[in-house]
Structure 1
Amino acid sequence: MRTAKRFSPKEAEEIYLVPYWSGGFFRVGEDGELEVTPLGPKGPAASLLEIVEALRDEGRPLPLVLRFPQILEARVKELNEAFFKAMEKYGYQGTYRGVYPVKVNQRRLVLETVARVGRPYHYGLEAGSKAELALILAQDLSQEALVTINGFKDDDFIRLALTGKKLGRNVVITLEKFAELPRVLRLSRELGVAPSLGIRYKLKAKGAGQWEASGGENAKFGLTTPEIARAVEVLRDQGLLDTLVMVHAHIGSQVTDIRRIKAAVREAAQTYVQLRKLGAPLRYLNLGGGLAVDYDGSKTNFYASANYTLSEYAEDLVYVTKEVVEAHGEPHPILVTESGRAVTAYHQVLVLEVTDVITPPGEERPQAPGEEAHPLVHELWEGLQGLSAKNFREVYHDAFADKETLQTLYDLGLVSLKDRALAEEIFYHTARRVYAIVQGLPYAPDEFEDLEKLLADKLVCNFSIFQSLPDAWAIHQLFPIVPLSRLREPPSRRATLVDISCDSDGRIDRFIDLHDVRAALPVHAIRPGEPYYLGVFLVGAYQDVLGSNHNLFGQVGEAHVEVGEEGFAIQRFVPGETAERVIEKMGFTARELTLGVERLVRQSRLSPAEKGAFLERYARELQGYTYLED
């Protein structure tokens, strides 16, 4: 009996690029299971498969999210320590005050963990709405921690921020447009509190990547240089110039190129210097967000990567700022960044179960066509019979042309369904043979690049991309995806993923690669009766709050997991949304729906037993998970 070829965890890590994107928080264990190492590579580890199986034993359904608060803690510490080390290295006389933008992930575990772990670093929080500010004001922050107020503001938002300052919080209101200045000054007089103001400077420098358009002269937020000069004059005329404490510049999210970042820092630092020269006693230089996550591990300026490390980012911000302000004899400002993605992305894993496999035709060698078959079917068969490494190009091109012609003839009623079916079997088997030949070549010809996608299985996964991975659908964001087990076996199949939504866009057919974008994911053959789980990684930023209820699929359940020397512990499980909860978002109530169904049942010809059974099932489904259940 032949046994499957075994290979090492190192080989599996290279196939799925684990060392390149994992930040040291994940690895392949010796038993072929993916492990989490939330305290770093030298700390304790836990098998993700064992965690999922423990949750299943408790009756927890999939899909679900695993959250690792220890990873959140590690990322907050790494960010702050990187800046303190950079400042020590370059003799920087200011300090660092990081701010977490709450919009990135407002989940309770995330916000409370970031606030608690950041407290010794005087780590702050940023609000972009009244609701976010309401969350922030209730957190246990240090007195020095910044609470930055960004976004467009109405009177109530400003009142809430000013009252937060009266309560002793270090609240800085960022002016996003000139018209906000008189409003803030009016309300500060009304409440009897002097504001602390920041000005968002509209950078000319642009970022790089998906969000490049969020910077530059056409950016949504920020004051132009003439508006900044006017704001300074207004504040000086009213004797309030000392309230201007911060200049804020934001280059954009997920900035992939460190050169763009350095150019933006230089411009922002110069603006800090010029405002100081105008008499504004600025203390803070807020360089905004943009610290990228290397989703594909390629360390390039590709939109899903970053060509710099965290330490390089911190050192460049510190060095460039120091160089600019010292050239003008100005004091080193307190540096502020508002990194969110880089803090939260790593801590969350989405776990999917494969429920079915859709395999393209041609897996097995087809039968020879009978004499009655269409001549083009015979031509396809003859090409397959004569296929070799020498003529594979010609055979494949002829086969493709024959298949297309047969489709046209079928549409005209000139080819039978039986002939078309056999032709497709022959074509796909030919394509599989050609793909095997191409795989053995040192260079794959361009015209065969789509073969992998054409021949890939479709793994049906129990989830909704619109709820759990909305940016994979909307902007083609790439995420690392790795099987949780069987990583001592070489993956023998290639697949794309499809969700259970009734939408053709509910699929993932782009996967990470160090040199390009893969059209299919290496996976193992699915064994009947044996669960096969996939982990989707780096999904802790934005995914939680951007998800939609398309097809009325709701928020998935989440497990909070801690790992120690004695193993893992599931600290808490938050159930996913029920059908009733999601339906209520649409304006219905369970009571109204039940009454409507009861009227229908009364008018039906069901037997009394059937009526009772149906109503019981209906009530149970309203309380059930919105995803497929066993």
Structure 2
Amino acid sequence: MNTKYIDLIDQTYYFPQEEFTLEGEYLRFHDIPLNELVERYGSPLKFTYLPKISENIQHAKNWFAMAMAKRDYQGKYYYCYCTKSSHFHHVLNEALKNDIHIETSSAFDINIVEQLKRTGGIKNDTYVICNGFKRDHYIENIARLINEGHENCIPIIDNYEEIDLLTEAIDGSFKVGIRIASEEEPKFEFYTSRLGIGYKNIVPFYENQIKNHDKVELKMLHFFINTGIRDNAYYWNELAKCLKVYVRLKKICPSLDSLNIGGGFPIKSSLAFEYDYQYMVDEILNQISIACAEADVAVPHIFTEFGSFTVGESGGAIYEILYQKQQNDREKWNMIDSSFITTLPDTWAINKRFIMLPINRWYDEYERVLLGGLTCDSDDYYNSEQHMNAIYLPKYKRDKPLYIGFFNTGAYQETIGGYGGLQHCLIPQPKHILINRDANGTLMYELFSPQQKAEDFLNILGYGQEKAKKASKAETLQTSGLK
């Protein structure tokens, strides 16, 4: 009878897979010996495997290069990294090794861009695509970047006032894009995206505010839908509406030469994940080519803004099962040594699935369990990797530690979770390990940040300030000769 965990995986999925293999009873991720990682650093821990970032960027570049060669597509392709997915220096540093461009979302992003320019990571010809709703600080930073000579900074107009705000702040002429306010998926709570300008209003907006403006040149039309690039009727319908707007604009605006199709390539969230990236790229370029040929206009340069696709599959989190609580005749709760709410907030906020697998004990018998976090919040649990509303793991044994890993967690979790700040119930942020390879392919490990300590929380909460005030007062008294 097949009762071991390895048997369950073998009969459910194709295994091993490209990134997941076994060495004895231990799981390896991109050939990283995860059990040795735990032995070296303990748990809980998070890690970032940097080579995966470059690998995914090169995959996308190759898909577009092949599709463009196949169709003799005359435009160019520009890969942009959506920085809000992960702003960390090690992520940007790795991504920028691949001759890419940057998409920003808010004012402080520009400060990061300026820092990267000073260190050579971003060059003068790097495109900086500025998305988001823009007000004083963001406008000021964008203007400073353009005024200092970064001509390839393109603010994407989100509302009717931004042209005037940018014109007042920028000294000379500048390029802009316009974001389309796409219609949301039918099951969504709203009909139209709050971001951008409606399909019907874009051409009138151009004619009223840009066409005769002596400082502004329309360079780009920006298209993005919240559900990402999916092979369904909703996506293709929205793309078709976008292309109708593009060809109408192109006929009256010669400077328009770029179409930004946003982001949204999915990443692997299950061992059963299937997605034909090459087909999707081929078909997108096909639809663009057909629309432009029918309208007798030149095809645009293509920009993409891949965030999760760039960094998501580089990340992972490892926890130990501390204890098992049998709450009734059906529910066994395996308690981890951290919190899902604080370390993987999307599991709680949007019920996002991540790949979850044990690190060890693959040849032990398995059982159905639920996973609970350490906070006193009833929502601090994970059951999205579902098998009948539960998860299968090797059986809990007090004398045989069990470690589990969550994979492809590299996008958004740190920023949404408030990395380095306060955490729910004051659960500390785990240590964070950077993993790379040298020229010979040997794994290299670096402790990026240790686990948070009580002092970190006390300082944030103001308790450390009391100590500092007392010390300052004592020093003042001593200096003045008072006791």
Q: TM-score per shorter chain, which class?
A: 0.7 to 0.9
Structure 1 counterpart of 2:218:
244
Cα 1:567–1:17 change in 2 (3 A) is farther
Q: Tell me which protein shows more strand as a share of its residues.
A: 2
Alignment of 1:37-76 (within 5 A): 37=30, 45-56=31-42, 62-76=43-57
1:329 aligns with 2:278: no
Q: Is 1:6–1:488's contact at 8 Å kept on the other side of the alignment?
A: no
Distance in 2 (CA, whole Å) between partners of 1:493 and 1:264 is: 45
Offset at residue 142 of structure 1 (A)? 4.2
Q: Is 2:268–2:408's contact at 8 Å kept on the other side of the alignment?
A: no
Distance in 2 (CA, whole Å) between partners of 1:296 and 1:567 is: 28
Structure 2 counterpart of 1:283:
257
Alignment of 1:45-444 (within 5 A): 45-56=31-42, 62-116=43-97, 118-119=98-99, 123-139=100-116, 140-165=121-146, 166-168=148-150, 170-188=152-170, 192-204=171-183, 206-207=184-185, 212=188, 218-224=192-198, 225-226=200-201, 228-240=203-215, 243-299=217-273, 308-360=275-327, 428=329
1:541 to 403, 411, 417: 411
Structure 1 counterpart of 2:333:
458
Q: How big is each residue's C-alpha offset from its partner over 1:48-86, in whole Å with a ceiling of 9 and x where there is no partner?
A: 112221223xxxxx2110210011111111122211111
Offset at residue 200 of structure 1 (A)? 0.7
- Matched residue of 1:113: which SS? helix
Distance in 1 (CA, whole Å) between partners of 2:14 and 2:317 is: 16
1:496 aligns with 2:370: yes
Cα 1:557–1:323 change in 2 (3 A) is same
Distance in 2 (CA, whole Å) between partners of 1:351 and 1:138 is: 32
Q: Is 1:199–1:228's contact at 8 Å kept on the other side of the alignment?
A: no
Q: Is 2:261–2:302's contact at 8 Å kept on the other side of the alignment?
A: yes
Q: How big is each residue's C-alpha offset from its partner over 1:13-48, in whole Å with a ceiling of 9 and x where there is no partner?
A: 44674759x7x32x23141211122xxxxxxx2321
Structure 1 counterpart of 2:427:
553
- Matched residue of 2:283: which SS? helix
Distance in 2 (CA, whole Å) between partners of 1:16 and 1:275 is: 51
Distance in 1 (CA, whole Å) between partners of 2:14 and 2:91 is: 24
How many corresponding residue pairs?
460
Distance in 2 (CA, whole Å) between partners of 1:226 and 1:458 is: 54
What letter matches 2:343 in structure 1?
S
Cα 1:587–1:213 change in 2 (3 A) is farther
Distance in 2 (CA, whole Å) between partners of 1:196 and 1:145 is: 14
1:34 to 15, 27, 40: 27
What letter matches 1:28 in structure 2?
T
Distance in 2 (CA, whole Å) between partners of 1:226 and 1:504 is: 46
Distance in 2 (CA, whole Å) between partners of 1:207 and 1:143 is: 38
- Matched residue of 1:337: which SS? strand
Q: Tell me which protein shows more helix as a share of its residues.
A: 1
Q: CA RMSD in A?
A: 2.7
What letter matches 1:536 in structure 2?
F
Cα 1:562–1:237 change in 2 (3 A) is closer
Structure 1 counterpart of 2:379:
505
1:562 aligns with 2:436: yes
Distance in 1 (CA, whole Å) between partners of 2:220 and 2:159 is: 15
Offset at residue 271 of structure 1 (A)? 1.4
The percent identity for this pair of structures is: 20
1:524 to 360, 379, 394: 394
Offset at residue 353 of structure 1 (A)? 0.6
Distance in 2 (CA, whole Å) between partners of 1:458 and 1:340 is: 34
Unpaired runs of at least 5, structure 2: 472-483
Structure 1 counterpart of 2:352:
477
Cα 1:208–1:16 change in 2 (3 A) is farther
Cα 1:332–1:115 change in 2 (3 A) is same
- Matched residue of 1:510: which SS? coil
What letter matches 1:268 in structure 2?
C
Q: Is 1:71–1:347's contact at 8 Å kept on the other side of the alignment?
A: yes
Structure 1 counterpart of 2:477:
none
Q: Is 1:493–1:523's contact at 8 Å kept on the other side of the alignment?
A: yes
Distance in 2 (CA, whole Å) between partners of 1:308 and 1:288 is: 18
Q: How big is each residue's C-alpha offset from its partner over 1:431-479, in whole Å with a ceiling of 9 and x where there is no partner?
A: xxxxxxxxxxxxxxxxxxxxxxxx2421110111121111111221111
What letter matches 1:588 in structure 2?
Y
Offset at residue 256 of structure 1 (A)? 4.5
- Matched residue of 2:140: which SS? helix
Offset at residue 359 of structure 1 (A)? 2.2
Distance in 2 (CA, whole Å) between partners of 1:317 and 1:127 is: 24
- Matched residue of 1:272: which SS? helix
- Matched residue of 2:197: which SS? coil
Q: How big is each residue's C-alpha offset from its partner over 1:76-116, in whole Å with a ceiling of 9 and x where there is no partner?
A: 11122211111112211101112111111112211221122
Q: Is 1:456–1:493's contact at 8 Å kept on the other side of the alignment?
A: no
- Matched residue of 1:522: which SS? strand
Q: Is 1:161–1:173's contact at 8 Å kept on the other side of the alignment?
A: yes
Offset at residue 337 of structure 1 (A)? 1.2
Q: Is 1:358–1:459's contact at 8 Å kept on the other side of the alignment?
A: yes
Q: How big is each residue's C-alpha offset from its partner over 1:506-559, in whole Å with a ceiling of 9 and x where there is no partner?
A: 1112314xxxx5411111122333321000112111111111511122322111
Q: Is 1:273–1:325's contact at 8 Å kept on the other side of the alignment?
A: yes
Distance in 2 (CA, whole Å) between partners of 1:569 and 1:226 is: 53
TM-score (norm 1): 0.68
Distance in 2 (CA, whole Å) between partners of 1:235 and 1:8 is: 63
What letter matches 1:236 in structure 2?
K
Cα 1:525–1:567 change in 2 (3 A) is farther
Structure number with bigger Rg: 1
TM-score (norm 2): 0.87
Distance in 1 (CA, whole Å) between partners of 2:434 and 2:448 is: 6
What letter matches 2:309 in structure 1?
A
- Matched residue of 1:558: which SS? strand
